[in-house]
Structure 1
């Protein structure tokens, strides 16, 4: 009876009651989960920083690999999650079970295949991602174990999104928080007490990801979910894959482009020495913390938007959009102010090398200068995807880290040197904001027209 009530409450949360409170209840656990995901890399960088600049550089150049696997997890997790939310809005639970199971097992299989490919070409992959000759030995030691952990990470990301799609965001919070706390405990033990260096950081991450996976297995196998996951529901059909991929593919492109972008920026920084690679790596991790707060909140917005669009509850959908914009923009403004005021003391936690700090301080401020628009960008890319409008949602999703950023990072350094590297993200953010505003105006007009049409017919 308790399980049935919990399931009913999750559905009621998305369809009834105060929108702002519902979004916070759905979103805050995912905000914490996404922060925890980012903290894995921040914590590794913090503890590894005591080993030296080359070791920090090694962890930095390996980081884009994790984005590839996050992309796999998000492709199936977000794609299936959007579809499942709409199916639940239509009360089609049988199909939702098949979609969830197909997404989960497909994610694991593809992650394993990609890991094999990366292992086969590890040296050229790390070189492309910015590993210099002095960083490479440490990068290899770290990446060999780290890649294994990212396979579990892909499965965890998929499982977390499947939980959120049915309103069960607390399980993602529990799983991710447990893994992160364990990682923080194990890092100093393996790195310093057992004298394993960068390998110790990777081992700590691997163990933490395995524990997180175990929590998700227990959740889905325990019968407490509204949507079931199991081999008996694994029904890979072209129709299911089509619905998953048309939404998830843009998220995959986003993660792949993010990985490519980080690789390009680290590669460009490598021309200015190990200190530049380490500085940019630290900056990207701090920036990811702020970005993951917004992305986590969107994980709560996405099922509510998809559910109410599927249920044709347009007034509630519009209220959710407004509330989402208010909360995310408010946070982005506060985060920007804090970064500008505290850039020096924050960065000093990760390095005491004056050459690293000389590059990192202006780079962190430059990467945050347009962050106040991040909420706008992700509110509307998430909205389009939640409504099943894959083309526009996909364009908006890959604009910031792909369509706009890649040309910026390829062109600006040739004209401005290191300054061009530092300001490339700000330029990409400005251009992405302009594009987002155009599509935001368009979708709001269409929603208003549909809402008026439904009102007249009733």
Structure 2
């Protein structure tokens, strides 16, 4: 299939052709940790518990890397859409250097705080050795695991969703092969236990780093010549302008999920287990919407750079429709087959009931949850990161947690689920209204420059840049 022309192809078909390959990549992201958990679980309860303690660090590091990737994608796509290839190349190099610096600092801090940090989290002495075995390798391999996320986002910024998806799928398959080999051993390969899982993860993710860097450098020629490498601080400021709010938004989700888990805990272990199964099924059901949000930021960014703001508006309308249609399909599936699907994961009646109650209550709102994700992606592409963060935090902090608490007080566990569903629904509608209101002040092409980069200025205030730090200046 020919790569879609983000700037000229009809908006609907272009978005669909971007999303379809990315679905496999989004599914691979979801599956990666599932595979590790499956094989480590075969070692025993202690190893599985030790790995569970590492998830907060994995989520935090992934959220930071993903946020930096979103910042890089927003900046590179805008420069690429404007036809400024030297600037796009410069941003590509600087995004990797900035990310590497951040990752090395995090890894160094992690290596010297393994025991005290996990002791603080409540890990027992018998688990600390296992956690140390895993995290020592994981921290050393952090650059190999985090940098590919930035490179994959930059490939998407260039309108290429096939390559990042293929690379992710390859890493998942490689991890599936390496996990049992290194964890349990075979032939001359010794059984390394939980440390083998960490090594497998580093090797699998590291393979994606090599592939992505080679593609960016050799195939796409996206690393600059010596004369184009200056301006690291300016590039870093632009990337962080979008990347920092995106990282904080990514971190808000697991924190909110932790609070909701605490709210469910008084209903017993079966309710917690049902919630856990349901949220994992929710993650799988949102793979299409996740892929849509991943490609939508660079779609908007490229068209913004090219001055085709009308395509950004049309793209948003198409993305909302796609999300809602997908939500209807998911709601029908869980509405009809929610109980049998839950039964695949457990035969405990109370767990099945909790899982089914969650899915049947919330699934009709998954389409609107997708609208929230798409709206945040659109604002990131428009270089309005605080608007993107506001939309996400409106749902998580302003609606998700308060309505869960109110629902629990009124209707117990099922009431809590209704509160979560209400949060998704209200947030989805509000996101559309916010975007429509913001679209009245969308930028217009303006022959002005700011910080040596093309910008677009507010029609209400032509002297003020909407998407760069600082004011517009005359050429």
**Would the TM-score normalized by the shorter structure come out above 0.5?**
yes
Q: How does 1:336-375 map to 2 (within 5 A)?
A: 336-351=331-346, 357=352, 359-366=354-361, 368-375=363-370
Residue 117 of structure 1 is matched in structure 2 by: 109
Is the counterpart of residue 250 in structure 1 residue 214 in structure 2? no
Residue 3 of structure 1 is matched in structure 2 by: none
Distance 1:230 1:266 in 2: 51
Q: What's the secondary structure of 2:304's corresponding residue?
A: helix
Contact 2:323 2:368 in 1 (8 A): no
Q: What's the secondary structure of 1:308's corresponding residue?
A: helix
Deviates more, 1:137-146 or 1:199-208: 137-146
Q: What does the per-residue CA deviation read over 1:329-376, in whole Å, with 9 as the maximum and x for residues that have no partner?
A: 211221233234444454455556666556544345555452120232
Residue 440 of structure 1 is matched in structure 2 by: 435
Is the counterpart of residue 335 in structure 1 residue 330 in structure 2? yes
Deviates more, 1:245-254 or 1:52-61: 52-61
Q: What's the secondary structure of 1:13's corresponding residue?
A: coil
Change (3 A) 1:148 1:14: same
Change (3 A) 1:404 1:357: same
Residue 467 of structure 2 is matched in structure 1 by: none
Deviates more, 1:340-349 or 1:127-136: 127-136
Q: What's the secondary structure of 1:15's corresponding residue?
A: coil
Deviates more, 1:226-235 or 1:328-337: 226-235
Q: What does the per-residue CA deviation read over 1:121-173, in whole Å, with 9 as the maximum and x for residues that have no partner?
A: 44675578797999888666655545555543321111100111112222212
Question: Structure 1: where are the runs of 5+ without partners?
Answer: 1-5
Residue of structure 1 aligned with 2:314, choices 307, 319, 326: 319
Distance 1:128 1:293 in 2: 38
Is the counterpart of residue 426 in structure 1 residue 426 in structure 2? no
Q: Which has the larger radius of gyration?
A: 2
Aligned length: 443
In the superposition, the TM-score normalised over structure 1's length comes to 0.80
Question: Structure 2: where are the runs of 5+ without partners?
Answer: 446-457, 460-475
Q: How does 1:257-272 map to 2 (within 5 A)?
A: 257-266=252-261
Contact 1:54 1:278 in 2 (8 A): no
Residue of structure 2 aligned with 1:69, choices 56, 61, 76: 61
**RCO comparison, higher one (Cα < 8 Å, 6+):** 1
In the superposition, the TM-score normalised over structure 2's length comes to 0.78
Residue of structure 1 aligned with 2:288, choices 287, 293, 299: 293
Is the counterpart of residue 381 in structure 1 residue 376 in structure 2? yes
Change (3 A) 1:401 1:292: farther
Is the counterpart of residue 217 in structure 1 residue 213 in structure 2? yes
Change (3 A) 1:238 1:221: closer
Contact 1:33 1:173 in 2 (8 A): yes
Residue 79 of structure 2 is matched in structure 1 by: 87
CA RMSD of aligned residues (A): 3.9
Change (3 A) 1:308 1:243: same
Change (3 A) 1:275 1:144: farther
Is the counterpart of residue 204 in structure 1 residue 196 in structure 2? no
Residue 22 of structure 1 is matched in structure 2 by: 14
Q: CA deviation at 1:386?
A: 1.1
Distance 1:332 1:371 in 2: 5
Residue 307 of structure 1 is matched in structure 2 by: 302
Q: Whose helix proportion is higher, 1 or 2?
A: 1
Residue 223 of structure 2 is matched in structure 1 by: 228
Q: What does the per-residue CA deviation read over 1:157-207, in whole Å, with 9 as the maximum and x for residues that have no partner?
A: 111001111122222122111101112223344445666555444333222
Q: What does the per-residue CA deviation read over 1:87-146, in whole Å, with 9 as the maximum and x for residues that have no partner?
A: 122222212212111111211221232233344444675578797999888666655545
Distance 2:334 2:108 in 1: 39
Residue 100 of structure 1 is matched in structure 2 by: 92
Residue 392 of structure 2 is matched in structure 1 by: 397
